[in-house]
Amino acid sequence: MNSNSFLLSFGMKPEDFERTDGPIQSDEGFVYEAWEARKGASCPKCSSKNCVIKARYTSEIRLRSDILKTEVLICHRIKYVCKSCRKTFTNPLKGAMVGKSLTYQERATIIGELNSGDTFERVAEGHGISKTQAIRIFDDAYAEVQRHKLPKILLIDEFKFATPYSKYCCHLVDFERSETIDVVKSRQKAYLDEYFSEIPADERSRVKVLVTDMYDEYASLARKHLPKASVVADRFHVVKQLAEAVNRLRVIAMSKNEKDTLAYNFMKSRWKLFLMRRRDVPDKWYTRKSDGASWHYDELLEYCMSLDSNLRNAYDCLQDLYRVMKIQDTFTNSVREVLFVAQKLENCNNEILSKVAATYRKWQAEIARGIAKNEFGYILTNAKMEAANDVAQTMIDAAYGYHNFDRFRKRFLLMRWSSKA
């Protein structure tokens, strides 16, 4: 490719140059050379045409880079001075950014790669620049990223992000569009109050439902800032509360058995079976390695639970909860079903299960709203939020953690929005 063709391919105008040369092959790739043409200059400060050449200088502009080669333009530039106001300046070149070592095109490519989720390190390496340069390009391009408008059905949750403010940041997602609205730097009450207070009242009034885990501050947030929103407890977190209790009781029951006994080995290796819906337990057999004897999964589940009444009671309550989650009845009947499970947990006379029962009683209305039929025709859940949180965690892990929350927030929002475009 000759010099003129090369300039054109990167959006630069050959007529801006009086002479071009190259390519010259080097160990790193190809080098082109171009001398800026002398043209009439207009002062950017006072618009005077009374300008003369002050000096000439050389700048190096990286036009393209990849793993195999790098292509660089050595550009001989002209510096002008205005005789009227003494302003010193250069004429802008189409395709080249003033004072930068990259073209507009390559910077746009870098920004696009960053917005797709690539790390600063990987993008920098691919373009032959430093990580610091890649970060600066991103920061220059996005001084500020505005949140999206609050939706009718708002999901709220958190994910780990260590900052001076909190161990967790707060994630807002539009249920119907599966789209991230914003990320708030902390889930603590003071930060949430400040954040939502700055949102216009008419926009906050648009929110009809807030789906959340059973975190007190989120319910408080709805009462104070979302006057028309009903709070719904996410069914995944409702089930998780009891499933974690069942698992704790499984470990306790397991520890009462000698190691390498049938009950101990089954409860340890097949622990997930104790947390499943009974109908979802696989039609499989468990074989003991020592003598090849086999038992059906159902048979061993019953055997293990017959050894510990607390595990049996907790398991039965979990099965009841799974049934309740599928009812889709009126709100009143749904409340009744939630209280039925809470009462059954209390009747077990077990401290671990009593704590779960207390949580269910406290959140009975919010849990019932998540179970009952609703005007929107949706099963209201935070499942879409959990998927978005996984994306955030993957992004954090890939970059070995982020230390700048504002930069992380901008990158995460832009990546999420570009994936929906």
Range from 65-74, 154-163, 165-174, 220-229 carrying the lowest mean pLDDT: 65-74
Task: For residue 14, say if its preceding peptide bond is cis, omega within 30 degrees of 0.
Answer: no
In this prediction, residues 258-283 reach a mean pLDDT of 96
Q: Would you state the pLDDT for residue 258?
A: 94
The whole-number pLDDT of residue 137 equals 87
- β pairing state of 51-65 and 29-36: unpaired
In whole numbers, what is the pLDDT of the chain averaged over residues? 88
Asked if pLDDT for residue 97 goes beyond 60, the answer is no
pLDDT in tens, 164-184: 767 889 999 999 999 999 999
Span 295-310, mean pLDDT? 96
Q: Which residue has the tokens 């995460």?
A: 412
The CA-based angle 162-165-169, given to 5 degrees, is: 60
Min mean pLDDT across 75-79, 126-130, 152-156, 334-338 is at 126-130
> What pLDDT score was predicted for residue 63?
64
> Residue 75: what pLDDT?
86
| Tokens found for residue 233 | 């407890």
Give me the pLDDT at residue 113, please.
Answer: 86
pLDDT at 193: 95
Q: 57-67: per-residue pLDDT in tens?
A: 888 777 655 54
Q: Residue 153: pLDDT above 60?
A: yes
Closest-CA residue to 114 (of 140, 149, 75): 140
- Over residues 351-359, the mean pLDDT reads 97
226, 236, 246, 251, 401 from 243: Cα distances, Å: 31, 10, 5, 13, 30
Domain residue limits, the chain: 3-101, 153-234+380-420, 238-371
Residue 420 has what pLDDT?
Answer: 64
pLDDT at position 116 is 83
pLDDT at 99 over 60: no
Predicted pLDDT of residue 122: 87
Q: How confident is the model at residue 98 (pLDDT cuts 50, 70, 90)?
A: very low
The helix or strand, by DSSP H or E, that contains position 398, with its residue range, turns out to be helix 383-398
SS3 label, residue 177: coil
Residue 140 is predicted with a pLDDT of 85
Report the DSSP pairing between strands 70-82 and 29-36. parallel
Share of the chain above pLDDT 70, in %: 91
**CA 229, CA 152: separation in Å to the nearest integer?**
9
pLDDT of res. 82 = 94
Query: Which pLDDT score, from 0 to 100, does residue 11 have?
Result: 66
Class assignment of domain 153-234+380-420? alpha beta
